[in-house]
Chains A and B, each alone.
Chain A
């Protein structure tokens, strides 16, 4: 693979109508938490490792700056409290794409003392399919 930089990663999240909206420019930080492959559950009575397969749970946290322009972050997430929809969330970086169906449980906006207006939107995996890179 040729050398390349990672600038220009893209995040797209469905709005309430199911239309993907690219909101990368509003997002400053994001984190995907996924289970480790297996859990070590070896008891003290065992002489070899015992492991359990873990459910493939996943959670996502998007953090960004408030933007109420059309089709940007506020337009996408303002419907979190009023609608019950799975939102396809896509992360594109270096031509690689990770997509998952997520339920967002909050759209928390904070106005800090320094006048910055930022938001956090946590999501969890909704449909039982492990998001994979393609």
Chain B
């Protein structure tokens, strides 16, 4: 993913500490069916246009016809002027998208040095419980305020 535009922080990464909650797709999500995510293609059917003049298009068409196991109708064989084939899939079958739903798992409670620019001190720890992460975070914020009030 490209970096989004960010307003540059005032201080170097070494002056920052990051409190993060992470839910990596590999461990915190599972594949879901179309029904679970109210998939529009499942509810209303969908149309796939494929250009069979390309190698990719031929492979896609082969997959739909031979391996997909879906029910469909087509607009017939392509001719020399129009190489596109339209597959129309009726509702009530799984679409080709990979749907995901979150597992009911706790996020990873991470505390590390630095910010999005890096972690120059290499500090990293992970809390097991949310309350410990919140307490760590709250103590850090209280420390900053205490320093400011000292002047």
Closest CB in chain A relative to B18 CB, distance in Å: 4
Please provide the chain B residues from 1 to 39 with a CB less than 8 Å away from any CB of chain A in the complex.
Answer: 1-2, 4-7, 9-11, 14-25, 28-29
* Given A54-B15, A114-B98, residue A124 in contact with residue B7 (CB < 8 A): yes
Which residues on the A side are within 8 Å of B133 (C-beta)?
6, 93
Which among A13-21, A82-90, A102-110 touches the partner chain? A102-110
Chain B binding surface SS class: mixed
Alpha-carbon separation in the docked complex, A36 to B17 (Å): 6
Q: How far, in whole Å, are A96 and B136 apart by their CA atoms in the complex?
A: 12
Give the CA-CA distance A107 to B113 in the complex, in Å.
25
- The size of the chain A interface, using a CB distance under 8 A, is 48
Closest 5 CB pairs of A and B: A6-B130, A33-B115, A108-B4, A31-B20, A106-B4
Q: Could you name 28 residue pairs across A and B whose Cβ atoms are closer than 8 Å?
A: A4-B131, A5-B106, A5-B130, A7-B104, A28-B102, A31-B21, A32-B18, A32-B20, A32-B137, A33-B17, A33-B116, A34-B141, A35-B15, A35-B144, A37-B144, A39-B15, A54-B15, A54-B144, A59-B9, A105-B4, A105-B5, A106-B5, A110-B2, A114-B98, A116-B25, A130-B144, A130-B148, A132-B142
Report which A residues bind B (CB closer than 8 A).
1, 4-7, 9, 28-39, 53-57, 59, 61, 93-94, 96, 98, 103, 105-108, 110, 112, 114-116, 118, 120-122, 124, 130-133
